[in-house]
Amino acid sequence: MASLSFPTFPNIEKTYTALPNSFFQFTNPTPVSSPNVLLWNDDLAEEFLFDHWRKDDVVTAQFFSGSNLPEAIKPFAQAYAGHQFGHFTMLGDGRTIVMGEFQNRRGEWFDFQWKGSGRTKYSRNGDGRATISAMVREYIMSEAMAGLQIPTTRSLAVVKTGEPVLREEIQEGAVLTRVASSHIRVGTFEYAYQTLSLDELESLFRYTVNRHAPELMVTENPALSFLDFVMKRQVTLVTNWMRVGFIHGVMNTDNMSIAGETIDYGPCAFMNGYFGKRVFSSIDTNGRYAFANQMGIAQWNLACLTNSLLPLIDSNEETAIELAKSKLNELETWFQESYIRMLGEKIGFPNLTEKDLPLLRTLYQWMQDREADFTNTFLVLEGVYTPKDSIYEDSRWKDWVKDWREEKEKQGIREEDAIKLMRKSNPSFIPRNHLVEIALTNVRQGYMSVAEDLIKRSQNPYIREIDYDYGEEVPKGGDSNYQTFCGT
Ligand code: AMP
Ligand code: MG
């Protein structure tokens, strides 16, 4: 194709490529035959000075499918490894390519990356491509996460390629533009620690700290401070997932971002009926990444990160291990405290303590026994939703609500304060599985409006309005047979 005239480009950087060559490879996306923009995120475009680019523009489709690039762009794929279902594996960007780093209006730098843009050095046996369904799904879920105000990578665009992708059936391909604070993963550190030199591990460490928390470089033990930083962000992140009923589904260490953003939307889903062992992913047959396991798995992953940082924590291995162990012990406490605080806020208690936990256990046990909807139950409790579901006539539910009221009174919590807390803790809208599936069926048939409506509703998920249809009456038996898939 003849070279295009691109709209003015914001400043672009590629600081990552100052790292040793072992961390990346310069790679261009593979051009596609007839790109067309399916989804374009106006708000995000505005935030990154891409606002004069348009959904219906030929140049936008060319660039965001990776088919035609201005000279200034030197894209690259990143190397990493990861523990997948507990086993160490060499990976790397098999179907994503970083276009570079762009600044938002506040002057902060973010990676922009094409996903589904063709093979790279790290593709192994994969085709480097992605289906329309998988990329629109990532767009819907990540933007819903942003709407919920939970740290996440964002989605700027989905461009269909006009080319078939062979999965279980043939689907059209698509390229998603993902925006992230960085794409450095726990698995990037494991890769450096396990396969590269100490100098290379140090380069990655310095780069990452400078990028995400430069102030840590002047602390007494920067590696330990960095660990502290990553741990705290993960505690916040996973606590938030537990708050809204989100199951990531594939919390391998390569899918855990150092910056603490939700990343790699593959088999993830929000659950309807509460069930601690809920798993949606077709390959998670042992329930390793089940809903209630997520805090434990985050700790396991952070132990992998800790291990990879040992030589930077102290040159004496024994000392390093001692320091690391005490940090990991703290982590356990942070998770526990953060989880308890979150549980309290969901029922309107600002200072829940361990001794109040039986109250929560009874509620969760009831929800599990009756497959009560995890989102709607808290709306019922707040008094803003009258469900059609008869389980709320249960004496166990009514008794629990009575206990909750009494305890609230005993602790001197004012009604309006409780409501205020519940309002900001409990979403009234999540992208429920049946809604996501309806949207994707439409997308595969060439209709975008259902997906667009869903994305729009997800932007305001804490809304409380009289007569608002919060509930999306959940199909009975809900989503217990729902299945999700990796890498589609
Ligand atoms: P995921 O399960 O999406 O986290 O992917 C695990 C690894 O497989 C990552 O390194 C991906 O880049 C790679 N991968 C997934 N799908 C493909 C594909 N279609 N082609 C090449 N590599 C892929
Ligand atoms: Mg991944």
What are the residue boundaries of the structural domains of the chain, listed by start?
12-80+89-182, 184-428+464-488
For 338-368, what is each residue's pLDDT tens digit? Answer: 999 999 999 999 999 999 999 999 999 999 9
Confidence label for 387 from pLDDT (cuts 50, 70 and 90) = confident
Ligand 1 atom nearest to CA at 92: 10
* CA distances, 175 to each of 36, 127, 262, 303, 433 (Å): 10, 13, 19, 34, 22
Instruction: Output the pLDDT for position 373.
Output: 93
CA 253 to ligand 2 center in whole angstroms: 9
Residue 421, pLDDT score: 98
| Predicted pLDDT at 476 | 66
Ligand 2: centre distance to CA 35 (Å): 25
* Range 32-49 average pLDDT: 97
Ligand closest to Cα of 113 equals 1
Amino acid sitting at position 480: S
- pLDDT, residue 108, reads 97
pLDDT (0 to 100) of residue 467? 63
The residue whose CA has the least distance to atom 1 of ligand 1 is 487
The angle formed by the CA atoms of residues 302, 213 and 249, to the nearest 5 degrees, is: 35
pLDDT score, position 10: 85
Would you say 93 is a known binding-site residue? no
Residue 481 has pLDDT above 80, yes or no: yes
Q: Which ligand is nearest to the CA of 81?
A: 1
SS3 label, residue 250: coil
Using DSSP's 3-state secondary structure scheme, residue 442 falls into: helix
472 has a pLDDT exceeding 80: no
Ligand 1 centre to CA of 91 (Å) is: 8
pLDDT value for 168: 87
Angle CA(33)–CA(37)–CA(42) in degrees, nearest 5? Answer: 155
| Residue 416 CA, ligand 1 centroid: distance in Å | 48
Confidence of residue 382 (pLDDT cuts 50, 70, 90): very high
Residue to mutate (ligand 1; options 76, 91, 142, 288; most atoms within 8 A of CB):
91
> 119, 30 in Cβ contact below 8 A?
yes
Looking from the CA of residue 125, the nearest atom of ligand 1 is 21
| 423 labeled binding residue | no
> Does the CB atom of residue 255 touch ligand 1 within 6 A?
yes
Cβ-based neighbour number of residue 333 at 10 Å = 10
Distance 252 CA to ligand 2 centre (A): 8
- Spatial CB neighbours of 481, under 8 Å, sequence gap ≥ 6: none
Average pLDDT over residues 295-321: 98
127 annotated among ligand-binding-site residues: yes
Q: How far is CA 485 from the centre of its chain?
A: 16
135 pLDDT higher than 60: yes
The predicted pLDDT at position 471 comes to 59
- Both ends of the chain: CA-CA distance in Å? 29
Kindly report the protein residue whose alpha carbon is nearest to atom 23 of ligand 1.
94
475-486 average pLDDT score: 79
Chain segment 203-256, per-residue pLDDT in tens: 999 999 999 999 999 999 999 999 999 999 999 999 999 999 999 999 999 999
Q: Is 94 in the pocket of ligand 1 (CB under 6 A)?
A: yes
pTM, entire model: 0.97
> Residues 437-465: what's their mean pLDDT?
96
pLDDT at 194: 98
Does the annotation count 403 as an active-site position?
Answer: no
- Give mean pLDDT, residues 447-472: 87
Rounded to an integer, the average pLDDT of 18-22 is 98
Q: Give kind and range of the element (H or E) at residue 234.
A: helix 222-244
Give, for 345, the enclosing helix (H) or strand (E).
helix 317-346
Distance, CA of 94 to CA of 126 (rounded, Å): 7
Tell me if 486 CB under 6 Å of ligand 1: yes
pLDDT of residue 388: 80
Q: What pLDDT shows up at residue 487?
A: 74
Averaged pLDDT, 170-185:
97
Q: Is the pLDDT of residue 440 over 90?
A: yes
Quick one: DSSP state of residue 267? S
Q: Which region among 24-38, 129-143, 284-298, 376-390 has the lowest average model confidence (pLDDT)?
A: 376-390
Cβ proximity of 417 and 350 under 8 Å:
yes
Confirm or deny that 115 is annotated as ligand binding. yes
Q: Given pLDDT bands bounded at 50, 70 and 90, which one contains residue 2?
A: low
The predicted pLDDT at position 480 comes to: 76
| pLDDT bracket for residue 4 (50, 70, 90) | confident
Say yes or no to pLDDT of 36 above 70: yes
Q: What is the mean pLDDT of residues 301-315?
A: 98
Name the residue among 252, 280, 312 with its Cα closest to residue 479: 280
Q: Is the CB of 250 under 6 A from ligand 1?
A: yes
Q: Is the pLDDT of residue 48 over 60?
A: yes
Q: Extract the tokens encoding 486.
A: 């990796």
Nearest to 102 by CA among 174, 56, 46: 46
Q: How far is the CA of 72 from the centre of ligand 2 (A)?
A: 28
Q: Are 480 and 273 in contact (CB under 8 A)?
A: yes
CA distance 26 to 32: 19
User: Maximum distance among all alpha carbons in the chain?
Assistant: 74
| Ion ligand 2 residue ranges (Cβ < 5 Å) | 255, 264
SS3 185: strand
Local confidence band at 161 (pLDDT 50, 70, 90 cut-offs) = very high
Q: What is the pLDDT of residue 264?
A: 97
State how far Cα 202 lies from the chain centre.
Answer: 27
81 lines ligand 1 (CB under 6 A): no
Q: Which of the residues 93, 111, 228, 254 is marked catalytic?
A: 254
- How sure is the predictor about 386, in pLDDT bands with cuts at 50, 70 and 90? confident
Does residue 123's CB lie within 6 angstroms of at least one atom of ligand 1? Answer: yes
Tokens of 459: 């932007």
Q: Which two tokens stand for residue 242?
A: 């537990």
- Mean of the per-residue pLDDT values of the chain: 95
